[in-house]
Amino acid sequence: MIEVTATDLRKDLFNILDRMERTGEPLRVSRKGRMLTLTPVSPRSAMSHQEKFDAALALGEREDWADYDPGDITDGRHIEWTPEDN
């Protein structure tokens, strides 16, 4: 565990963050007699487009999809665009 004061953290923030990222060590910061602990979290693995598509399909059909009519502009699901006068 990396232990620093808040002042030392401010002086060397980016190097300490790089070390945490590289080693996975948590950071303990002391400030005004209190201790704060920061723990690095590994990023989620990136999903491929196919995995995203499959996950969306697994959710099933949207509840409001059955009554959707793309020609009905009164349902509030359309986009209005009016060009500015030049």
Q: Please check whether residue 2 is in contact with residue 16, taking contact to mean a CB–CB distance below 8 angstroms.
A: yes
Phi, psi (deg, nearest 5) at residue 83: -65, 150
**pLDDT exceeds cutoff 60 at 46:** yes
pLDDT digits (tens, 9 = 90+) for 60-85: 777 766 676 766 767 665 566 667 66
The CATH number of domain 2-38 is 1.20.1740:
no
Average of per-residue pLDDT across 41-66? 77
Report residue 75 as tokens. Answer: 């349902």
Counted residue by residue, the chain has a size of: 86
Domain ranges of the chain: 2-38
pLDDT at 47: 75
User: Helix, strand, coil % (nearest 5) of the chain?
Assistant: 35, 15, 50
